[in-house]
Every structure is written in structure tokens, then in C-alpha cells.
Copies of this chain bind each other. A is one copy, B any other.
Amino acid sequence: MSTNPGGGTRLDPWFGSYAGRTHGLRVSETRALFAVASRPEVVSLAGGMPFLDALPMDLIAKVTADLLATQGDVALQYGNGQGHPLLRGHIVEVMAAEAIQAHPDDVVVTTGSQQALDLVTRVFVDPGDVILAEAPSYVGALSVFKSYQAWVEHVPMDDDGLIPEALRQTVARLTGEGRRIKFLYTCPTFHNPAGVTLPVDRRAEVLDICQREGILLVEDNPYGMLGFDGQITPAIRSMDEDGVIYLGSFSKTLAPGYRTGWAAAPHAVREKLVLASEAAILCPSHASQLSIAAYLEHCDWRGQIEAYRGVYRERCQTMLASLKEFMPECSWTTPQGGFYTWVTVPEGVNTKTMLPRATTALVAYVSGTAFYADDQGSRQMRLSFCYPTSERIREGVRRLSGVLAKEIELAALFGQTAASGAAPSHGSAADVTNPAPDVA
């Protein structure tokens, strides 16, 4: 009897009733990490949780209480599907910091930017349609794309992000095959998981390719304000308002517990997103939206982002120094902001099969395989420096280096298969597989 929660069992009386899209749902590689990461003895370099101890909680408590006491009948009532105009106005101000000129009418508030991703995919993607995505890509985006039975085609990156020439070739090949490309999904700034940033000239080039080919560009930018040097690269959306859907979030600049993000979209698309969102959730939470508006009005949000930047800059430095000290046999990216670095381990080591041994050694990361819709990533891992203190980061990398040393030894002794052979058998390879060809 299978216990794979994604696959279903004959004991499930509704097994024959599920929709086609449901058969592709699998437990993500990152879900189990929540449980692991919450154990205090484990150093988690896995999650993307912001360091909320940096927030002025007493002040937030006060402005929230004032909001509820004076406008509780509005804050706790239904709202409109597009989001509260007050918050949409603030969002326009926030985006202006990234050189985006937008109007509150362009903005759709969502339940985290994850819902914005869901809505964009829902509105555009029929089963088998192609979505272009960086190699690697955000695991949550891949989950959404799979849930709509999209075909994800990865486009290679280097230390400067997406490679325009590779994009050009991929598009040419796919259009030559008569495939329908619905959009390019990209995280150009402080990429999750790769930690790299697309320079301005490449932004223009990537946008130009999309414009010429009539491909919509979906720009996911949760980390853009978190550059260590305080410099902000202009968003791709600042260069084109008709060809780009921009996704933003308060999860990293304020806090994820409000589940509040947004999409800024071309007019006609925006209207579709609102209709789709009304069907999905009626309206985003007024309580969250107005709490955030109150925070933006009464707290020094720019100063808070500066404080976050300082914390993450220091932790990133520690991470990179620890990698240099303990894991010189690996290579890694050098982030200028955000939460992550992307590490490549020596040949013969498989980061996915190594993970159970790492957690046994009380350190956690995310295997590179989680960030691909195909079979890449087994020599990579994402290490995050956002949540643990610098001391813990150094200790985590030290522990990881011990696990890695044993893996390298094993690989040298028995060859690559020995390390790979220990893979857990519970179907997790399917987590990162594109839909079966019959829907493509």
C-alpha cells in the first residue's frame, strides 16, 4: 500500500474522481523542511523566512490596535477584489523606489505574491503550454506551473543571471517546433535560488527578445529592495508597462504573516486577474491590507528595510567567509542582496541523497533538484542566510562541510552510484518532473 499523499491509494474512495491536474500534485521537497527547521538543534540554511526579530513589534502592535479600535468595522469587513485603494496607493510609492511609474488602478493585491503567480498562470496557461523559466527557478513557481499542467522550459543562467543568447535560442527552437510559449518567468534581482542579479543592459536585451517574439514577461521581485549596498536596480517593468507583469510582496520587506503581495499588470490583463481573484478568494484580507497601510504610514518602513539590509549583508558575509573556510572544494555565487547563495558541490556528490545525512548532522538546506522541472540540480544546493544568526550560519556550514567530506570520500571509494544509490525511494524524483508528455 502506497502512502504517497500525491499519488493516492485504492483506499481513497474518491481516487477515480480527481481532475487531471490533481494527478501532478506532489509533496514539495521544501515542505518537510518546515518541521526540521523548527527543531532548535538544527541549523536551517533551508528556509526563506525573514528575520522578524528585526521588526519593531511593540510599535506594530500599537498601530494595529489603533487601527482596530478606530476603524475595526472597515478593517474586519469584506473589501473589493482588487484590493483597498489606500494600500494600492502605497504600493505605487514602494514601486517608485524601483523606478516603476504606475497608477493604483494597475495594482491587484493578492494573498502573497504566490497568489499573483497562481492568478497569472490561471489566466494564461492551458495544459501543455510552455512557460520559460530560469535554470534554476523558485520552487513555488514551479509548483504553480505544474498545477496548471504547464510545460516548463528552463533557460540557462550565469553569474549575471539569464543568458540572453540562450533565451534567443530556446525561443527559436520552441517556436520552430510550433510550441505555444505563454510567458517568461524571471526573478532578475537577487535571484531565488541562484543569488545572482541581471544587469541593466541584459534586462533591456531580455525585454527586447520578449517584445520581438510577443512573449509576456513575468517579473518576480520580492527581494529587489534588499540590496546590501542600498542600490536598487530598476525593475524590468520600469522599461515597459504593456509587456511586463510585475509581482511584488511585503513578505520580505515587512513580514510574510500578512500574506500580502501584488501584481502590477497591463490594463486588460489586470482586469482578468481581478476576476480570477474574485472567483478564488472574493477579496484579499482587509485586516492585512489595512494593517500594512497603517505600518507604512506610522512606522519608518524605509529605515526598517535599511535595518533588514544590514542584517542580511552581515549574514551573507559570514556565509561566504564560512564557505571559503570550510568548503573550499565547492563553488558558489556571490549575492549582492536577497537571501540565498547557490552552491555547486564536487562531482560525484548528490545533494539530494546527502540531505538526510545533513539533517542527521543537524544542518538543513534545499537540494538543487527542487528548483528544476527536469532532472537538473543534483550537484547544487541553496543555502539561505536570512534567518539564522551569523554564529549559527558559521556552525551550520561547518557541520555541512563534515557531511560533504564524507560524501566526497564515499564517492571516491565507490563511485558516484554509491552516493546516489541511497536516494529515498518515496517517489520524490517525481517532484521535479514536468507533466507527462500526454498533456504537452
Contact = CB atoms under 8 A, between A and B. Distances in A.
Interface of A: 5-6, 8-9, 11-15, 17-22, 25-28, 31, 34, 47, 49-50, 52-53, 55, 57-58, 60-62, 64-69, 72-81, 111-112, 114-115, 118, 122-126, 129, 140, 143-144, 146-148, 182, 214, 216, 242-243, 251, 255-259, 266-269, 271-272, 275-276, 278-288, 291
A77 B49 contact: yes
Contact of A18 (B55, B77, B123, B256): B123
A5 B269 CA distance: 9
A435 B302 CA distance: 48
Given A17-B124, A55-B72, 8 more contacts: A21-B122, A25-B276, A49-B77, A64-B68, A65-B65, A76-B255, A140-B279, A280-B280
Residue of A257, A267, A287 most packed against chain B (CB within 10 A): A257
26 contacts: A5-B268, A5-B272, A5-B275, A12-B266, A14-B269, A18-B123, A18-B272, A19-B126, A27-B275, A52-B76, A60-B76, A61-B66, A61-B68, A62-B65, A65-B65, A76-B255, A77-B256, A111-B111, A112-B282, A118-B279, A143-B279, A256-B286, A257-B286, A259-B284, A285-B288, A288-B288
B76 A69 contact: no
A69 B61 contact: yes
Contact of A11 (B58, B251, B268): B268
A264 B302 CA distance: 42
Contacts of A17: 124, 182, 216
Contacts of A14: 124, 216, 266, 268-269
A27 B19 CA distance: 26
A28 to B, nearest CB: 7
**What copy number does this chain have within its complex?**
2
A287 B291 contact: yes
B278 A31 contact: yes
Nearest to A82: B31
Contacts of A53: 73
Contacts of A19: 122-126, 129, 148
Contacts of A69: 57-58, 61
Given A61-B65, A242-B13, A279-B118, A256 B22 contact: no
A247 B39 CA distance: 33
A123 to B, nearest CB: 5
Contacts of A283: 259
Contact of A288 (B20, B78, B182, B287): B287
Contacts of A12: 266-269
A291 B65 CA distance: 12
Nearest to A140: B282
Contacts of A50: 77
A92 to B, nearest CB: 21
A347 to B, nearest CB: 33
A266 B13 contact: yes
A280 to B, nearest CB: 5
Contacts of A79: 257
A118 B281 contact: yes
B8 A268 contact: yes
A172 B122 CA distance: 34
A26 B275 contact: yes
B61 A9 contact: no
Given A20-B126, A61-B69, A73-B52, A258 B287 contact: yes
Nearest to A12: B268
